[in-house]
């Protein structure tokens, strides 16, 4: 089997999903490729899948296959590479929603902060929207909750030889979770989400890459769901406290963005990045919006006043988004982490690789 890296194959599978969904194919299902869990794919794509459709992700060149481990304890899932944590995911046990609790650069620096005193409902990296007028961002008594229905994890690692015989390690972690989005006092879902998180590294091994995909649709018997919310609702991330000071946001096109209030801005761009210091060391975090997402490019929310925050939004505060029965909404985002100050050209190169395959 001729394998280079996971990223092109995985994105090819994601592209097949969106193409199938837009074409009105049967609802997507988790399927197997080569005997291993594959990327989320529609029925037609599954039929044509080959073992190459689920190859593991790239690690630092010149290394051997790594030791991978997935641990679960009290609702928290820990993904470890060579015994070092790469990501923590709180699947259950949170007040209202699952989220990424920690995400680390290749050197091991965590960039996410959970439930700070100023905003207890800010949880690392989280997906939160309004649905049919119910707020899933905040965590008051009348706010919505995302309840787990099922959970599955997988890990793959292998050593790959290039044409010269040089060995390169590769890895991929996958998390699949089904969630029911419920109103505060109701057990009937407003919307059902199929969530997939896929954790790997860039082809050069210099960036941690998390691919986030959410498939949202009304439950059986419900005709539609309507997404709404404030200007920052979306896939949002709160940074560790040390990154709140002296950080710099920059984006794919050098745009200034629309000021909403204070330092809060909305900028329609394909990617937004933030460089700051985490525990005294420079890091860069970028958020990618896939070209097949609705309303692409995303309106990226950023702020620096009091604390730093970034989220990819659907601009729901100005225009609601309807999800009809039988026509699922697929959202795909990427989050990339570098040690040091990543240059725009580096970020753009990874974005293009991620988005076009």
DSSP string, 62-83: T-PPPPEEEEEETTEEEEEETT
How far is Cα 107 from Cα 44, in angstroms, rounded to an integer? 40
Query: Quick one: pLDDT at residue 71?
Result: 96
Q: Is position 116 within any domain?
A: yes
Pairing of strands 191-201, 167-182: antiparallel
Q: Cβ atoms within 10 A of the Cβ of 327, count?
A: 13
Residue 321: exposure state from Cβ atoms within 10 A (0-12, 13-18, ≥19): middle
List, in sequence order, every residue forming a beta bridge with 286; answer none if it has no partner. Answer: 273, 336
Which tokens in the block code for residue 92? Answer: 């259950």
Query: Quick one: pLDDT at residue 19?
Result: 43
Q: Is position 162 within any domain?
A: yes
DSSP 8-state secondary structure symbol assigned to residue 41: B
Query: Quick one: pLDDT at residue 35?
Result: 31
Q: Is position 12 within any domain?
A: no
Q: Is position 9 within any domain?
A: no
Q: Is position 225 within any domain?
A: yes
Q: Is position 23 within any domain?
A: no
3-state class of 354 per DSSP?
Answer: helix
Q: What is the CA radius of gyration of the chain?
A: 19
- Considering all CA atoms of the chain, what is the largest pairwise distance in Å, rounded to the nearest integer? 62
Residue length, the chain?
357
Q: Is position 182 within any domain?
A: yes
List, in sequence order, every residue forming a beta bridge with 336; answer none if it has no partner. Answer: 209, 286
Query: Quick one: pLDDT at residue 357?
Result: 65
Report residue 262 CA to chain centroid gap: 27
Q: Cβ atoms within 10 A of the Cβ of 176, count?
A: 18
Give the mean pLDDT per block of 10 residues along the chain (357 residues): 38 44 38 32 32 36 69 96 96 95 97 88 94 94 96 87 72 97 94 98 93 98 97 97 95 95 97 96 98 97 95 97 98 98 97 89
How far is Cα 32 from Cα 76, in angstroms, rounded to an integer? 26
Which tokens in the block code for residue 339? Answer: 């040690």
Residues 6+ apart with CB under 8 A from 328: 21, 27, 28, 215, 216, 217
Query: Quick one: pLDDT at residue 314?
Result: 98
* 90 phi, psi to nearest 5 deg: -90, 105
Q: How many domains does the structure of the chain reveal?
A: 1
* 352 phi, psi to nearest 5 deg: -65, -40
Give the global pTM.
0.84
Query: Quick one: pLDDT at residue 214?
Result: 98
Domain with 109 in it: what CATH number?
A: 2.70.98
User: What angle, 0 to 180 degrees and rounded to 10, lies between the N-to-C axes of helices 344-356 and 6-22?
Assistant: 50
Query: Is the CB of residue 7 less than 8 Å from the CB of residue 353?
Result: yes
Query: Is the CB of residue 83 less than 8 Å from the CB of residue 69?
Result: yes
Per the structure, the complete domain to which residue 95 belongs is given by 63-356
How far is Cα 13 from Cα 32, in angstroms, rounded to an integer? 12
Q: Is position 26 within any domain?
A: no
Query: Quick one: pLDDT at residue 312?
Result: 98
Residue with tokens 């996971």: 6
* 52 phi, psi to nearest 5 deg: -70, -10
């Amino acid at each position: 089997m001729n394998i280079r890296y996971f990223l092109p194959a995985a994105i090819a599978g994601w592209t097949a999903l969106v193409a199938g969904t837009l074409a009105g194919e049967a609802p997507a299902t988790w399927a197997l490729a080569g005997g291993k869990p594959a990327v989320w794919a529609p029925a037609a794509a599954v039929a044509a899948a080959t073992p190459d459709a689920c190859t593991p992700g790239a690690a630092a060149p010149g290394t051997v296959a790594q030791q991978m481990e997935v641990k679960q304890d009290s609702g928290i899932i820990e993904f470890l590479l060579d015994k070092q944590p790469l990501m923590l995911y709180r699947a259950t046990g949170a007040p209202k929603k699952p989220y990424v609790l920690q995400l680390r650069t290749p050197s091991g620096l965590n960039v996410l902060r959970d439930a700070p005193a100023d905003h207890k409902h800010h949880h690392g990296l989280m997906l939160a929207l309004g649905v049919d007028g119910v707020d899933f961002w905040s965590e008051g008594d009348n706010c919505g909750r995302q309840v787990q229905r099922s959970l599955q994890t997988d890990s793959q690692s292998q050593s790959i030889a290039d044409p010269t015989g040089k060995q390169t390690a590769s890895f991929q972690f996958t998390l699949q979770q089904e969630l029911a989005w419920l109103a505060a006092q109701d057990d009937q879902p407003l919307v059902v989400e199929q969530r997939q998180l896929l954790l790997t590294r860039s082809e050069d091994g210099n960036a941690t890459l998390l691919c986030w995909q959410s498939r949202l649709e009304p439950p059986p018997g419900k005709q539609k769901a309507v997404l709404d919310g404030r200007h920052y609702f979306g896939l949002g991330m709160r940074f560790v406290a040390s990154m709140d000071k002296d950080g710099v946001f920059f984006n794919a096109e050098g745009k200034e963005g629309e000021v909403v209030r204070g330092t809060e801005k909305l900028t329609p761009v394909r990617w937004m990045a933030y460089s700051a210091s985490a525990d005294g060391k420079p890091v860069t975090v970028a958020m990618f919006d896939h070209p097949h997402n609705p309303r692409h490019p995303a309106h990226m929310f950023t702020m620096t006043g009091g604390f730093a925050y970034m989220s990819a939004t659907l601009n729901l505060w100005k225009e609601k988004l309807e999800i009809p029965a039988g026509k699922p909404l697929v959202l795909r985002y990427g989050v990339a982490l570098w040690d040091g100050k990543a240059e725009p050209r580096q970020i753009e190169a990874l974005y293009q690789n991620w988005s076009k395959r």
